[in-house]
Structure 1
Amino acid sequence: MSLLCKGIAAAQGIAIGHAFVKVEQTLSYTRTTLEADQVAAEVARLKEAVGKTISQLEAIKQKASKDIGEAEAKIFEAHQLIMSDPEFIGAIESNIESEKINSESALEGVSNMFVGMFESMEDEYMRERAADLRDVSKRLLKNLLGIEDSLLGDATEAVILVCHDLTPSDTAQLDKDQVKAFVTNIGGRTSHSAIMARTMEIPAVTGLSDITEKVKSGDMLVVDGETGDVFVNPDQDLIASYEQKLKEFHEQKATWAKLINEPSVTKDGHHVELVANIGTPHDAEGADKAGAEGIGLFRTEFLYMGRDNFPTEEEQFEAYKAVAATIDNNRPVVIRTLDIGGDKELPYLDLPHEMNPFLGYRAIRICLDQVDLFKTQLRALLRASAFGNIKIMYPMIASLVELRQANAILEEVKEDLRQNGIAFNEEIEVGMMIEIPAAAVVADQLAKEADFFSIGTNDLIQYTMAVDRMNQQISYLYDPFNPAVLRLIKNVIDAAHKEGKWAGMCGEMAGEEYALPVLLGFGLDEFSMSAPSILRSRHLLTQLSMEEMKAATNEILNLATGEEIRAYIKENILDKL
């Protein structure tokens, strides 16, 4: 009998196939007391396992860089840093030597201590570090026990992976030829694994609570990554209907591919820009191949991560210049200045421990405080602007005062370059992200002095709704279609247009099928999204009328809930295409 399970639609696509239920391994060992003359050999055994773990993480990182992108692969550098951390590894060695116990026992004691310490912290970022530590510790323990890490066991056919959770390292190792889709008990749309799945184009449904208890290996499953539906042992009629949907989906992708070099124009002739979010210069090539009309967000913090010192001006200049060269024909390249802090830390930047770093010393606040650091990046950006259509964008601006402070520092750097005869684009556009509700409310004032806005919905939604987007218990509150969020977005776009400026969006919302008609109706000029979403969005645009969407949004803004708004979009717009 068919069973329907409802979860979170994490990655679009349809999959039909047999389940492979990944059973969590029980890693058992015996606590052993060592003789004095055995301690040195045991420490050596630990170091050998640590070395093997680091090598495995490097291989995973390389595969992730190739299959997913360098930005997403940076997480594995963080895992490697844990394995190289003298406080962590040194504490394990110290336990072996002082208590004369085997490596497995020493690892468990130290790992549990650190994990417990991080999990007890109120800050969500620090709790996420506990998950990283647990993941890496488990890998090290497997190497100590000589257990090969196998995600799919002895599966001989392409399967739908069913598991409690997928770590980033698990997801990075997935092969599309072996895994048709994955479904998990926990997780959300904004988790590392979900974002990776969308980039890899593997359908995924997360947050199913107890799917591992309802499914056994070999069961037939249908996974709908658009609706969040998972059907267990469906009847033949349901399978047939989804086989038809899957066929139509592949036909859709073939249709989308024809639009790769076409402009993004609505059926009534209105043009918008569909551009890409990237994390490294290497990612620009993928964006270009995906049909992006430019770069809407270059996250420069990834140039600073995975190293033990700040990137030099010359290193940054070459990186920015390389992106401009890849995205040629004077297409725009919007480069965000350093957005560190919150969930992104630099080991060599001694940031203070804060109860809530997302509301603390981060992004533009660091740059305005550490002016030399900021000036180095601005010099590199300005110099690179002589080689392409580069635009500078400040993150986390909360007030007109901060915008003016940042622009004053930029003017100092410009004057220094002029004095030294160094070329840069004197007309370079300088804009800001709108991700703090305070900025959205006073967008009319900010628009007088910023050249453009880019709306960062990931933070704007969680700040507006006072909801941690990674907290599964309250994830229902993280709703892009909440009327309060939509009204703030429209206010920002209207404020920009009133001053003759353009407004873009670089949050996850920009690439969502349900959001695109609404944002078009609001008058959004630029949609920045992950590269795989561009052609699908361009195809949808060709079927929409700008004037019709304007009329629809007038009705949408009078609806009371996100559920009502989604229903309206489905029934009155998407279902009629």
Structure 2
Amino acid sequence: MKKRNVDLVCDIAELISLEEVGRDRRELLQKVVTSVAKHMMADVCSIYIYDEEEKVLTLRATQGLEPAAIGTVKLQLGEGITGRAVRELRPICVGSASQSSSYKFFPGIHEEEYEAFLTVPILRGLRRIGALVVQARDANYFTPNDVKALRAIAAQLATMIENVQLLSGARVEAEAEPQPVRRTLSENILRGRSASTGTARGKAYTLASGHAESCLLPDPESNGHTVADFELAIEKTAQQIEKLQRQTSEELADVAVLIFSAHLLILEDDQFTGRISNLIRTGTPGVKAIATVVDEYVEVFSKSKMPLIREKVLDVKDLGNRLTRNLLNETDEECDYRGQIIIAHELLPSDILKLSAENVEGFIISSGVTSHNAIICRSLGIPMVALARELADGIPDGEALLMDAEQGIVYLKPSDEVYAKYRELDAAWKVLHDAADVKEETRAKCGERVHIYANINLLSDLKPARKFKAEGVGLYRSEFPFIVRNDFPPEDEQYVIYKKLVDQMEGKTVTFRTLDIGGDKMLSYYSNVNEANPFLGMRAIRFSLRNKDIFCQQLRAFLRAGAEGNTRIMFPLVSSVDDFINARTIVYECMDELEAEGIPFSRETQLGVMMELPSAVEVVDELAAEADFLSIGSNDLIQYMLAVDRTNEQVSSLYLAHHPAILRAINRIVSAAMTLGKDVSICGDLSADPRMLPFLLGVGLRNFSIDIVNAPTVQRMVNNIAIKDAEEMADAMLDLGRISQIEAFLLERNLAPAAEA
């Protein structure tokens, strides 16, 4: 009888799925080890949980060993075969355990009866969670396929186990912070900064970080509800969340991996729902009981030193809101955020996805806008405006708002005239961005061909990319499936995402950018998240080269996805020719591995460089000679050339795309590529800037990767530009050495730079 590893992975996924998991997590671990032992035809399967403070692994579930060993068998980090695997963050497969120098004997649990030993660490990113172990009587029993299967199961277990640990570890007393004092605003028009364009209408809903009362909970004095009523509310809430998770997983398959899992974990927590039940049982009105317990959890979570705990604040507030509405039998079946504009000091990417799934109208943020949050909002079509903290804090809950996220303006209690004006503007915007006006080919006034590609952030961007006739994907930002997860997605999971992207582009060019984290795009589960200066730290290609295992998994997934497609790979934040050659060498190693394993891929996959750093500009001739193509990442190029953090409101006015140093750097990059006959493109905000488009065409750029909804506008602009005129304009601008001179030049041609936010 053959081992059924594929069935095993599917069965474990079903065991852990939100629909099937019971409330006893210890029982779940026991079910997992039983299922693994059965499918792998192993005599023993065990799960160890790691205590980070004590540096100890404790046996928590086993099938095959003495049950009394549970909770008593402990291993120091590095002790025994299992402790060594967890310390070294790698699987260890031993044909004969008794002959291994790392073997640790425990009397009385009968482990010595089993020779074959396979252990896989359970990891969340690079953080140790525990270990999954299988053993068999026969020596050399386990195969490389068994290792792969066990790694897949360990990845599925990691998030569930850690969430349980976080929730249990967070129950500590915390002193309540005073509620922020709200100021009465003296005007009805608030001016901020645009982060994601569009207009939104709705009522203000503040996601403050302090107390549950800031959730839109109804009157806490409502009475007459029994414990039975509350249990029905729990059941209805669970059904809603499970439905929401399924729906989100279908619509946002690449980034929606169990983003509502914390909701159900909290709902299943007896100390949460049980405490509410006890309050109701002793006479506290149901709604007030929910508010009291939610408030306690919010205080504890928000004051935690652990970022992973603080991330649960929104989850517990949302859960309290749903429980209350369901207890009151409100007619709104979905209990979502339609008609609401969320005001928050800060939001996580996963928060944005959750609130998007619950039909939020828009966001007002009162901290610096991170680039990944802005990009996600743009992809989801949700307007976002950044306001000063004192302005955002002064907006009363329930206040009628209209957001003009194009200009960064928020209207309080907008008049009928304001509403009428924005209805007209919305209609005009639809005309300007009508996909029906986009032609299959883009040509300048003189007939020269220009290519427009799409920036893809989420798989949901593929629909507008096809609608607006994108000629391919000029930039796929691969970090988003990493940012919103609780762990590094494994190779097979990445492959599924990338393959969908390639398949849906139907043979058109797809350019994958390798993982670009760091700066303001941090992974909460990466151990080095608190760098002194993250924009100059372990980010982008530096992270990938330092973490070769993670890099190789992504590269292998890229190569596999492009086996029958037209794909390219480019490396971000390259600072030297050596960076590129080191990355290219690893790609070739991955190709050799895939070939040896008989896995299809394309040896013709082109490898390119994102030009974003001053040091790269200085060696652009050498980079152009080595790389297959160059891509100008305009956002970071401007940021690093000018030493301006574009997310810092204090200096954002110095972030100038028309700075003479930027113009000359772009010209130098394009010239180097053209001299060697290499393809060169531009992406970032500058690529769709109508003020700078003539200059970009004038220096020789013909490939533009843009947020594809801007395609109609960009195409119309290109149609009205003669290349000869653009070249003359570019030559004139390159001769100017002052910002003021360039601004005056553009003003003369009715292309004056807009005021920077």
TM-score (normalised: structure 1): 0.71
- Tell me the secondary structure at the aligned position of residue 325 of structure 1: helix
Q: CA offsets per residue over residues 249-287 of structure 1, 9 Å max, x none?
A: 333233x5221x511222122222211222455543442
Matched, 1:210 2:210: no
CA 1:189–1:543: 2 relative to 1, 3 Å: farther
Aligned-partner Cα distance in 2 for 1:234–1:444: 56
Aligned to 2:579: 402
Contact 1:325–1:387 (CA under 8 A) maintained in structure 2: no
**1:179-218, aligned counterparts within 5 Å?**
184=364, 186=366, 194-201=374-381, 205-207=385-387, 210=391
2:297 paired with 1:107: yes
CA deviations 1:200-220 (Å, max 9, x no partner) are: 556655436637859998889
1:565–1:357 CA distance, 2 compared to 1 (3 A): same
Matched, 1:298 2:488: no
Partner secondary structure for residue 441 of structure 2: coil
Query: Are the equivalent residues in 2 in contact too, given 1:77–1:306 (CA < 8 A)?
Result: no
Decide whether aligned partners of structure 1 residues 269 and 310 sit closer, same or farther in structure 2, where only a CA change above 3 A counts: same
Distance 1:526 1:132 in 2: 40
**Residues 205/60 of structure 1: CA separation in 2 closer, same or farther (3 Å cut):** farther
Q: How does 1:415-454 map to 2 (within 5 A)?
A: 415-417=592-594, 424-454=601-631
> Any idea what SS the aligned residue of 1:391 has?
strand
Aligned match of 2:536 in 343, 359, 362?
359
Please identify, of 285-294 and 407-416, the stretch whose mean Cα deviation from structure 2 is larger: 407-416
Residue of structure 2 equivalent to 1:155: none
Q: Who wins on radius of gyration, i.e. which is larger?
A: 2
Identity level (%): 31
Contact 2:205/2:397 (<8 A) preserved: no
Structure 2 CA distance for aligned equivalents of residues 213 and 62 of structure 1: 35
Which residue identity does 1:464 align to in structure 2? M
Distance 1:245 1:355, change over 3 A: closer
Give yes or no for contact 1:521–1:552 (8 Å, CA) kept in 2.
yes
**One-letter code of the match for 1:289?**
K
Aligned to 1:552: 729
Task: Give the Cα–Cα distance (whole angstroms) in 2 for the partners of residues 215 and 143 of structure 1.
Answer: 22
Q: Equivalents in 2 of 1:148, 1:163: separation in Å?
A: 26
In the alignment, does 2:568 pair up with 1:391? yes
**Structure 2: runs of 5 or more not aligned:** 1-186, 215-226, 277-288, 333-337, 753-757
Alignment counterpart, residue 356 of structure 2, candidates 169, 172, 181? 172
- How far off its partner does 1:293 sit? 0.7
Could you tell me whether the CA contact under 8 Å between 1:27 and 1:142 is conserved in 2? no
Q: How many residues align?
A: 523
Shift of 1:446: 1.0
Match status 1:7 vs 2:192: yes
| Secondary structure class of the residue paired with 1:426 | coil
Distance 1:457 1:542 in 2: 23
CA shift, 1:399, in A, is 0.9
1:276 aligns with 2:454: yes
Q: What residue identity is the alignment partner of 1:210?
A: L
> In structure 2, do the counterparts of structure 1 residues 245 and 139 end up closer, same or farther at CA, with 3 Å as the change threshold?
closer
Find the counterpart in structure 2 of residue 34 from structure 1: none
Q: Does 1:135 align with 2:314?
A: yes
**Equivalences for 1:40-119 in 2 at 5 Å?**
56=241, 59=244, 62=247, 66=251, 80=261, 103-104=293-294, 106-114=296-304, 117=305
Structure with more contact order per residue of length (Cα contacts < 8 Å, sep ≥ 6): 1
- State the match for 1:539 in structure 2: 716
Distance in 2 (CA, whole Å) between partners of 1:262 and 1:358 is 39
> Contact 1:295–1:333 (CA<8 Å) still a contact in 2?
yes
The alpha carbon displacement at 1:292 in A equals: 1.1
Q: Conserved in 1, the CA contact under 8 Å of 2:473 and 2:705?
A: yes
Kept in 2, the 8 Å contact 1:20–1:217? The answer is: yes
Q: Quote how far apart the aligned CAs of 1:572 are.
A: 1.6
Give the partner amino acid of 1:356. N
Go from structure 1 to structure 2 and tell me whether the alpha carbon gap of 1:280 and 1:186 turns closer, same or farther (over 3 Å shift): closer
Distance 1:555 1:243, change over 3 A: farther
Structure-2 change in CA distance of 1:436 and 1:219 (3 Å): same
Q: Distance in 1 between matches of 2:363 and 2:460?
A: 30
Change beyond 3 A, Cα 1:174–1:561: farther
Question: How big is the shift at 1:80?
Answer: 4.9
CA 281–13 in structure 1, closer or farther in 2 if over 3 Å, else same? closer
Q: Indicate conservation of the 8 Å contact 1:432/1:452, yes or no.
A: yes
1:562-577 alignment runs, 5 A limit: 565=742, 569=746, 572-573=749-750
Give, in angstroms, the shift of residue 407 of structure 1: 1.7
- 8 Å CA contact retained: 1:104, 1:144: no
Contact 1:172/1:196 (<8 A) preserved: no
Q: Give the match's secondary structure for 2:661.
A: helix
Q: Matched residues in 2 for 1:399 and 1:439: separation? A: 6
The offset of 1:447, in angstroms, is 0.9
Please, which of 651, 660, 663 is the counterpart of residue 483 of structure 1? 660
d(CA) in 1 for partners of 2:600, 2:357: 45
CA gap of 1:233–1:564, structure 2 versus 1, over 3 A, is farther
Alignment equivalent of 2:432, drawn from 217, 229, 252: 252
Distance in 2 of aligned mates of 1:547 and 1:82? 60
Confirm or deny: 8 A CA contact 1:188 1:472 kept in the other structure. yes
Any conservation in 2 of the 1:187–1:472 contact (CA below 8 Å)?
A: no
Question: Structure 1 residues 301, 236: closer, same or farther in 2, change over 3 A?
Answer: closer
Q: Which is worse superposed, 566-575 or 521-530?
A: 566-575
Q: Secondary structure at the match of 1:354?
A: coil
Q: Distance in 1 between matches of 2:654 and 2:313?
A: 28
2:569 matches 1:379: no
Q: Secondary structure of the equivalent of 2:681? A: strand
* Structure 1 residue 143: Cα displacement: 5.8
1:450-529 correspondence runs (5 A): 450-529=627-706
Kindly provide the amino acid, as one letter, of the partner of residue 111 in structure 1. F
Contact 1:103 1:144 in 2 (8 A): no
Higher helix share: 1
| SS of residue matched to 1:473 | coil
Tell me if the contact between 1:54 and 1:83 (Cα under 8 Å) persists in the aligned partners: no
